[in-house]
Structures are given as C-alpha cells and as structure tokens.
Structure 1
Amino acid sequence: MRIDGTTALVTGGGSGLGEATARLLASLGAKIGVFDRNEAAAARVAEETGGVALAGDVTSESGASSAIKKLANESGPVRILVNCAGIGTAKRIVGRDGPMPLADFERVIRVNLIGTFNMLRLVSAHMAELEPVEDNARGVIVNTASVAAFDGQIGQAAYAASKGGITSLALPAARELARFGIRVNTIAPGIFLTPLLAELPDEAQKSLAASIPCPARLGDPAEFADAVRFVIANGYVNGEVIRLDGGVRLQPK
C-alpha cells in the first residue's frame, strides 16, 4: 500500500518501537495518529511529526473508537494500523512468595493481546467501509509480537503467552479480513534498544548484545520501523509472522 498521503494510526507511538515507526512513516509522507496512554509523549511525537496526538488506552472500546474517529476526521480515512502498545512483567509462575498473582497475568494479557485485538477489530471495521485502492486494498494492519512467543524465558509466562496470542492471530485475521482487502501481518522483534532496555547497566546491555549471532548488538528501533515500512508497502506480504532478531534464540534464562 502506498504510504505517502495515507493516514496511519500507531499505538504505543509515544516511545520506543512505536515512536520510531511513527517518525519513519511521517518522513515517507504518511499522516500520523500517535496513540499512547502517555498524553505528553503522544503530544511530543505528534508535534514533531506533524501528526495528531491521541491519548488513550488500547483496551478501552470507547477510547479507541474515539481516537479512530478523531484521526479520520482530522487526517482522512485510516488505512494503516501499526500496533506497538504493550507492557511486560518478570514474574515466575511460582516464586518465593507463592503463585504469581492472577491479576498480574491478566493485566499483561489484557494490554498486549486484548488491546491489540481491540484496535484490530475497530480499525478493520473502519477500513471495511472505505473505497478500495490498488489491488482492491482497503488497508493494512501490522501487529507487534516478540521472539518470546517462541523462546519464552523463565519469568516470562504472561508476556510470552500474550505475544504468542498475537502471533497466532496473524493468519486467521488475514484470512477473515481478506474479503475486505485488508492485509494483516505480525513482526516479532528480538532484543531492541528501547527506553526500558536502555535503563539497564552497560554491562547488562553488552551481555545481551553478545548473545545475538549477527550483528552482535541490540536492535535499533529504526530497523523495526523499516520492517513495518516493508510490510505496508509490499502488497504480497499477508498472514505472515516475521522474526526480526539477528538470529538470536533466547535461552531459558
């Protein structure tokens, strides 16, 4: 799908992978909606990319619906959705204090998996009403999983389960939405230098980088953004889950 002149909604667009994606798509001529629960971060990235700030929660039906409507009214019909919003947790199923609190597991599943699905269902309904463009296309959706979906480590049960759900969602969603001319793909990034990872000590970062076969460094969010660009622009990529990880396979811990 053509990026220049097209309206794109990026969740988690206020930082990390989402911010990098919003910036790249804006540089390619897209009209960006920056959806983030951090209102100040959304406003900053939107201002710097000439986009629309959309503060809200991806798990909220009313909040997400309002964001889609606002973006469409201000920038035109939304034909691109990139889901980058997500959270993590590091808790064992059974730890020193007993079983993992069910609320902690539910929170990660709700934000990562249910939030992704909420945005997918609402934006795809919006896209389905649009006039088709080239290749009878009405839109493209890119979800963000993680290599943890395949190589989940100890303490990552909730995170890996949420990302595994997103991974499994790609093909059935692509098959179902094909009749509307909507493509659905997923990118599963490895170890990227996001703001959260940047808080780790230098030695910890170097240790993580050394585990990556080639190149032996942490991923740059700009590389994730470029993968999103490819998936959007190449109309024959559909129903795929793309590992973007430098060949790393995570060890148990």
Structure 2
Amino acid sequence: MESILLSLRRAGQDLLAPRMLTLAFWPMVLSLLAWGILAWLFGSAWKAEIAGFLAATPLDDLARWLGAEWLTAYAAVFVLSLLWLPAMYVTALLITSLALMPIIVGFVARNHYPDLEYRRGGSLLGSVFNGLVALVLYLAAWLVLLPLWLFAPFGILVSVLLNAWLNQKLFMYDALAEHASAGELKDERHAGGWRLFALSSLLGLLHFVPVVNFVAPVYMALAFTHHGLAALERTRRGRPA
C-alpha cells in the first residue's frame, strides 16, 4: 500500500510542475472538442438510430402501455450519453498515451530515476498496437455490459473495473517501454498483482469526479510512470516488488 500512496503523492507533486501543468488539460479539451463536433454533426442521426433500435424492444411496448411515448426518445438520449462519455474518456487516454507519454516518462525519469538504465524494450509501433487492442476490447466489453446500467450500482461498478483495466493496459506499456528490456517489459506488466489493480481502480474513480477528470489522464500517466519505474528499479536491485 505504501508504494501505491507514494506513486499517487509523487504524481500529484509532478502535476503541479509548470511543464506538466501546460499539458494537463489538453487531452480532455481536445477529446471534448472532437466529440462535441461529431455530436453536433451526427448527434441527431445517432439518436434516431438508437431510438429505432429501442422501438423494436419491449421498452417501446412498455412506453405505449404507460401512455408515455416520449420514454423511448429519452431512453435513446440516455444510451447515447452512456456511449459518448466513455468514447470521450478513451480518446483522452489515447491522446495522453500516444502523444504525451514520452514527455511524461522523460520528465519523471530525469527528476526521480536518473540512474535507471534505458534498455528500450518497447517501441512506438508497440504502443500504437497496444492502444488499439485495449480500445477494441474496452469498447466491446462496454457495449456487452451496457444493460447493467439499468441497475445503477452494477453499472458504476462495471465502469470502474473497465476503467481500471484500460488504465493499466494503456499506461504500463508506455511507462516502461523506454527503460525496460523486452523481457522486463513483459514481466513487469504481468507482475503488478493487487498493487497495480488497486492503483488502477483508484485512478479509475477520477473519471467520475467533475473538474478533476479534466486533468485525470495526465495525472494517471504520472502515477503509472512512477509505479512502473519504481518497480523496475526495485527489480534490478534485487529488492521485493
């Protein structure tokens, strides 16, 4: 638990550094801008498609029986929101992973792990492939489990768990790619255990906190970088992870 708290504390301190503050808001702002434009251009068509799908389900029969034909239209907006919000979240994470992680890892390494040797077991192509696989699996799981949002506590729990998985899947590769060898990269990503899952889950909760969620992607990247590089350093020194 101490290593988790240390990673979170150091990430918070680094986030306040001028260089990191200049990056902190960009992923969410760019994602919001991109999806806002798409929603403005295609939102009505998306809503109509979802409403048409819902019209073929028992929900439409229930709405007619209750005399509340508007229910299907409101349900379409609700479903569209449940799809739009994770899409925006994932886009911000991908921007952070692909565009900002080299800057973040370099910053953390220089200031906290200057003696850690670079063995470059990862690559840009590996990062892109890792991100695409994570994206496809995350969105597929989200769509399959979407009905659980009818039971709010289960929907929130599923969202936290999926976010936790996506966070560690994306950022652990990028955090270690420059410093770990290919073998170390594989071992460290699969050796996180409960510490890595706990860190991922805590960071996944930031997605639900207003205002904080705007800087969450960069804060997550910092926390995972600290966690990954500290674990790699302990491993090379023969200390317990």
The TM-score normalised by the length of structure 1 is: 0.32
Larger Rg: 1 or 2?
2
Q: Which has the higher strand share?
A: 1
Q: Which has the higher helix share?
A: 2
